[in-house]
Structure 1
Amino acid sequence: MNFIQSDPFVRNEREQKIAARSDRLATVFVGRAAQHDREGSFPFENFKELREAGYLKLTVPEQFGGEEASLYEMLLAQERLAKGDGSTALAVGWHVSQMLQLRIKQSWPQKLYAEFCREVACKGAMINQFASEPATGSPSRGGRPQTAAVKTEGGYLLSGRKTFSSLIPVLDQFTVTAFVEDEDRTGTFFVRKGPGVSIDETWDTLGMRGTGSHDLVLADVFVPEAERIDTNECESEAAMSDHGGALLHIPACYIGIAWAARDYAVKFAAEYRPNSLPGPIAELPHIQHKIGEMESELITARTLLYSAADRWDRLPAGRAAMRPELGLAKTVATNNAIRIVDLAMRIVGGSSLSRSLPLERMYRDVRAGLHNPPMDDSVIALLAQRAIREATDADGREK
């Protein structure tokens, strides 16, 4: 499976090297994807190779030995990785995106942040933040965590259950949100695997079966005071926030899966010659129409995604105002990805349903994008609110 191809969104030599590394990894991961999907198993070998390739330090600051990738560069890497295995790309995306967020926010205690960045760059350490819970659903909806943090001598004791804990089979540390009753607010804590930490292997889903997103269970887990990471008050929350930029790793992943489905379907159409036709089905007008539709959906999604990422990188002061566009990039990408894979299956026909071919797995995987944040309804509400606000402000100025 050849991933190396000309891409108008690769703009320079550095980006070409980042993209080429993902291409090389994807050619290996694609050979394992079907087995991990069928078994619902975690691809430990993929993460060993990501570590060896230096991928895990993609967004770590250069001063700590990382590559300090921009948002745009991270998306190039993630999109191409997903062409090989969507589950692996989505799972590692939570790590590289969180390292990007931490670089922007600078919200961790400085000593802890520097030490962990070096661990990532030198040893391939990984991290994810766990906030979703059975009773609250997505943290983007604003529910109060049921996981509790109780003050104790020298720190806190954490107890609770987190769902959708992607990467947990391979993590030695992670961050967790918990409600601090004494303060009547939610705190964030750096937790290391150890006494009181366990994994309940609940992840058995329709798609993205290899992300290892099991439940994390905490039972009186001690976290030192110095490893509570939401207490940096040197800057305002708005100044430290990336305003959702790093979450664009999500649409990049689903576009990558759709891109692979498009490649498969186009190659199939160019080669499949039923004995009822004088040539390949790619010569049929209705097949060409479907291929054209796939191209339209893919180009639209990628153009919106990369234009948003480029603006986010170039205009830090404008990031807060970009939230609706960032959400729109995700919504368009995930819905277009579903449409592209659907068209690919229509081109390939009944054999696309076979589990011996990759399209049925891709079809299941892209559906998961609908359930990653931000949700479609939240994005539409943001767009509507901004339009109403702009119209109201304009009306006021005219008067």
Structure 2
Amino acid sequence: MNFLQTKDAKERLNYLEKIAENFRTRADIHDREGTFPFENMTELKRSGYTALTVPVEYGGKGISLTELLHLQETIAERDGSTALSIGWHMGIVHNLFEKKAWDDSILQWIAREVLNGALINTLATERQTGSPTRGGKPHTTAKRHKNKWIINGRKSFATMSPVLDYMIVTATITETEEVGSFIIPANKEGIIIEETWNSVAMRGTGSHDVIFQEVAIHNDFLVEKMQRGPKQANGWLLHIPACYLGIARAAQSYSIQFAREYTPSSINRPIIELPNVRQKLGEIELEIMKSRYFMYGAAKGWDESEAEARNTMTPILSAVKHEATNSALKIVDLAMRIVGAHSLAQNNPLQRYYRDVRAGLHNPPMDDMTIEQLAAFSIDQKK
């Protein structure tokens, strides 16, 4: 059995829970050693998980955004790095076929590759320009030479770089100064992965730098030119808050289990009976309820809307990410207060959760941009 043979969402979730349990046991090792979870990726590919967002008409399951978030949250409860990594692939594939901004011949080819296990991510961030969400033009260049494009440049934060089969690379076209997206096979000559990832958070994402030195690709691999003006809303980016809420729920589970079992001699009963501990557990549950209802409400709205309505949802999607990532920080902090000094031990998962949820602040969109966006939305609504 694999995911492509499953009948419904419940069966897929049950199947994933069995597969992902192995991720939990490996997460601490990869975090301590700063290694990439190759075995997790192999299991996800072999199971057919990575093809679930390919539409039915192209051979996949075409799962909804809502279901994708449930699945991603489930992985994140076991291993945040694996969830964030594979979430980019899952969301990008979902988005490509939902928006169909590329030629259908390219999409058919991508579908075949993904069904055969290929992994994809977008490489857009550069150290000189910072996050692409802030509007910087890529220093990476694409120059036409006969019937090919020659790509030169360097991308940072290239999540999942050790196992990518295709890279969607943003580059400035030298002849026109336009910004294009190019799909580049990862095995092309001239691509170098420089192992620069040394973060204290999400250590297993393999978010290294990727260098392009005179990389020649076919003329047809310019798949899209970036349009000026307002960007389309991107529901698939909700995989980011789903990841951090999954980690937060893991912290919640750990703190409850600890509180049930920890019986200091000074009180002769489990600390879960203490009012101050129950207060914190209640606050955790409130944060999780708020964030999950908000996120899944937005996802349901996306799934039930057409393109025109979806493009009005950008402020909501940004607000979900802001709420979820900041709630995740609060939840893990409260869990650590329940567990106390034990939570700081290197073999305690809470210290890893604490570091990992902090990374959510630096995934797009950033908090300051979201607040400004919400201010503009609010003012516009009151005209």
TM-score when normalising by structure 2: 0.95
Aligned residue in 1 for 2:24: 30
CA distance in 2, matches of 1:15, 1:302: 18
CA distance in 1, matches of 2:317, 2:276: 34
CA distance in 1, matches of 2:225, 2:364: 25
Q: Look up the SS of the partner of 1:183 in the other structure.
A: coil
Question: Which of 258, 262, 277 does residue 267 from structure 2 map onto?
Answer: 277
Q: Look up the SS of the partner of 2:32 in the other structure.
A: helix
Give the letter aligned to residue 22 of structure 1: L
Provide structure 2 residue ranges, at least 5 long, that are not aligned to the other structure: 1-6
Q: Look up the SS of the partner of 1:23 in the other structure.
A: helix
| Structure 2 residue 311 is matched with structure 1 residue 320 | yes
TM-score when normalising by structure 1: 0.91
Question: Which of 135, 140, 145 does residue 128 from structure 2 map onto?
Answer: 135
Indicate conservation of the 8 Å contact 2:143/2:151, yes or no.
yes
Q: Look up the SS of the partner of 1:230 in the other structure.
A: strand
| Structure 2 residue 381 is matched with structure 1 residue 387 | no
Indicate conservation of the 8 Å contact 1:180/1:186, yes or no.
yes
**Aligned residues, how many?**
375
Indicate conservation of the 8 Å contact 1:104/1:242, yes or no.
no
After TM superposition, the runs of 4+ consecutive aligned structure 1 residues lying more than 4 A away are none
CA distance in 1, matches of 2:280, 2:198: 33
Aligned residue in 1 for 2:197: 203
Aligned residue in 1 for 2:145: 152
Indicate conservation of the 8 Å contact 1:26/1:82, yes or no.
no
Question: Which of 167, 175, 180 does residue 173 from structure 2 map onto?
Answer: 180
Question: Which of 218, 241, 249 does residue 239 from structure 2 map onto?
Answer: 249
Matches within 5 A, 1:189-338: 189-192=182-185, 193-230=187-224, 243-316=233-306, 317-338=308-329
CA distance in 2, matches of 1:269, 1:288: 9
**Structure 1 residues 73-94: Cα deviation after superposition (integer angstroms, max 9, x where no partner):** 1101100110000000000000
**Structure 1 residues 97-139: Cα deviation after superposition (integer angstroms, max 9, x where no partner):** 0001101121222222101211211x21110010000101100
CA distance in 2, matches of 1:272, 1:56: 40
Indicate conservation of the 8 Å contact 1:149/1:181, yes or no.
yes
Deviation, structure 1 residue 25: 2.5
CA distance in 2, matches of 1:19, 1:333: 22
CA distance in 1, matches of 2:366, 2:86: 21
Indicate conservation of the 8 Å contact 1:82/1:88, yes or no.
yes
Aligned residue in 1 for 2:164: 171
Aligned residue in 2 for 1:87: 81
Indicate conservation of the 8 Å contact 1:107/1:232, yes or no.
no
Question: Which of 154, 158, 163 does residue 161 from structure 1 map onto?
Answer: 154
Aligned residue in 2 for 1:10: none
| Structure 2 residue 333 is matched with structure 1 residue 342 | yes
CA distance in 2, matches of 1:390, 1:366: 33
Deviation, structure 1 residue 315: 1.1
CA distance in 2, matches of 1:21, 1:331: 31
Question: Which of 36, 45, 53 does residue 47 from structure 2 map onto?
Answer: 53
Q: Look up the SS of the partner of 1:229 in the other structure.
A: strand
